[in-house]
Chains A and B, each alone.
Chain A
Amino acid sequence: MLEKALKGSKKYYGWIAALLAVIGVGFACYLWQFQFGLGITGMSRDVSWGFYIAQFTFLVGVAASAVMVVLPYYLHNYKAFGRITILGEFLAVASVTMCILFIFVDLGQPTRVFNVLLHPTPNSVLFWDMIVLNGYLFLNIIIGWNVLEAERNNVAPPSWLKPLIYLSIPWAVSIHTVTAFLYCGLPGRGFWLTAILAPRFLSSAFAAGPAFLILLCMLVRKLTKFDPGREQIQSLAKVVAYAICINVFFFLCEVFVVFYSRIPEHMDHLVYLFAGLHGHNALVPWMWASMILMVVSIILLVNPATRKNETTLVAACITVFIGTWIDKGLGMISGGFVPNPLHHVTEYVPTIPELAISIGVWAIGFLVLTALFKIAVSIKEEVSGVS
């Protein structure tokens, strides 16, 4: 089936070339970082994780969201999603690929990465994160590939696949839960030290991921002869609507606990993010933008008229994606480090090479996504005889 990714229109090749160019720039910057050290980034002694780990956190969510198409189809026999499960699974593959790369580029000594396997340490959450992320990657590759091949040959998927599919459902929940546990089990970081962190991560994941999938479905419909279907898109839109409401609700739960209890170690981080602390306020406009975007998206998604209208639905999905990205990909990580455990305020701003490396990793993700979607859509076209 791989050959399908190699045959395409001029536009297709142009897009691939553009991605490769972006990857090239990112790779060059990575070589610079490899040579100099992480000092070329904006990270510091006080804010020791930055953009890379934030992107990783956000993308784990996008990856986990594949379960939102797999679960209704396989557990509730919701037939309509059978058409697009492969798109959800391949989106997960691309997202987990990016997650793993973002962790890798964040390492100070990347050549020693296999120490994690040589000296397995079950008391470290990072050890479990490695297991669940790699497991999820393989599950989705195996499931996606075999289901697609069966569809191409017009036969039922092999029976040994069913247990793996069922396993992939709780596994999707696990990847984001374990990722939240990286943060929420740390004693000195009040911003993350909350049991609602994993649920918050999951709710924003189930909003951002399906929202992105809707946009991809519409793009596929526009660019190819395969139509993922209006019903499918509308059902996904309801998932996004519920998830983004729950996400904002969970956030408000956190806000209540923090501000009603008024415990400084928990409160100061939120104050820093939304009002600024001791004159430091780089993230304030971003955080409010995130809140406004999420509220706007709720209005657009809960209202049936704007949800059913595909133009406003696109707008809603973009606002969900950007809103949750700012929340997790920007505020969630550096917010936990400011102020630091000694109550000093050191702000974090990513540098240009750091952003170039990040965009390079995103481009690798899009390259994987493009190739996998090309394969999936080509097979779908072939099967339905429209190609």
Chain B
Amino acid sequence: MEESSRRTFLKLAGFSALGLGAKPVLDAFASSGGEQSKPMVMKGADALKAKRWALVIDTRKFESEKDLEPMIEVCHKIHNVPKLANKRHEIKWIWTEEFKHIFSTQTHAFLNDRVKHLPFLTLCNHCEKPACVRACPTKATFKREDGIVLMDFHRCIGCRFCMAACPYGSRSFNFRDPRPFIKETNLKFPTRMKGVVEKCNFCAERLAVGKVPACVEVSKGALAFGDLEDSKSKVRELLSSNFTIRRKPALGAGPSVFYIV
């Protein structure tokens, strides 16, 4: 069951990653197998679906590091993210940064005290035009049709081109075997081996069974997750009623993570 769902998932992923190049393959499927062979039907009945997933972080609802800890903890716990003492080898999917770091191109010396000292959640932006996907030589990292940028840990050759390409520093590399450093292994999610890159996956495995991302679930309403293309979604409602910013907008990568400051 585990194995076959992984394959299905990869197939889906492969199709979306191939983009234009995959068209003939899809056509071939369509003519031989009809409706049944279309990748869309492989999604679970309960799966949450969207055209483009996005996250809105209302930073006004946070005061200190302590408010953000539960989100980081739950993510790292369910995704088997190891805790390494050596800072050089650190693996992190979601963490905190000061404004001057996370918004390094938008900072200035006269920020008000709240913003200056407030910790900001930092994670993969699941960009509209991801530089990491462009750089990867094996399609081990790819963008799904719902906008989520994913990693195939079993295909990654560990060249780290994606890490050089990512303008947000969102990716971590397993400089050593991470397994001895996982306190409590979640058997429902794969652990990684040494030599591969990893990062936030917008909880793709939870969306597939109808659950919102874990960080959103424990955020007490400070984080909203939804379809950016759906004008009635929660995220669109927040975006239209609040002023929001994204990281390094000048690069044109099109992050899917928005911040209300």
Contact = CB atoms under 8 A, between A and B. Distances in A.
Given A187-B253, A189-B164, A124 B195 contact: no
B197 to A, nearest CB: 8
B39 to A, nearest CB: 18
A124 B139 CA distance: 9
Interface string A9-44: 000000000000000000000000000111100111
Contacts of A112: 138, 155-158
Given A43-B88, A45-B88, A265-B105, A341 B166 contact: yes
Interface in A259-275: 264-265
Interface in B62-79: none
Contacts of A125: 135, 161
B168 A188 contact: yes
B135 A186 contact: yes
Nearest to A46: B169
Contact of A109 (B102, B157, B164, B172): B157
B165 A186 contact: yes
A9 B9 CA distance: 62
A187 B100 CA distance: 19
Contact of B139 (A44, A121, A183, A188): A121
A326 B109 CA distance: 36
A49 B101 contact: no
> Chain A's interface: helix, strand, loop or mixed, by majority?
loop
Interface stretch (A220-228, A292-300, A306-314, A342-350): A342-350
B101 A124 contact: no
Contacts of B139: 119, 121
B204 interface: no
Contacts of A344: 101
A351 B180 CA distance: 23
Interface in B136-168: 136-140, 155-161, 163-168
Interface of B: 86-91, 97, 100-102, 104-105, 122, 131, 134-140, 155-161, 163-169, 172-177, 193-197, 248, 251-253
Across the A-B interface, the 5 shortest Cβ-Cβ residue pairs: A108-B158, A188-B167, A108-B195, A44-B88, A39-B175
Interface of A: 36-39, 42-46, 48-49, 103, 106-110, 112-113, 115-116, 118-119, 121, 123-127, 130, 182-183, 186-189, 264-265, 336-337, 340-344, 346
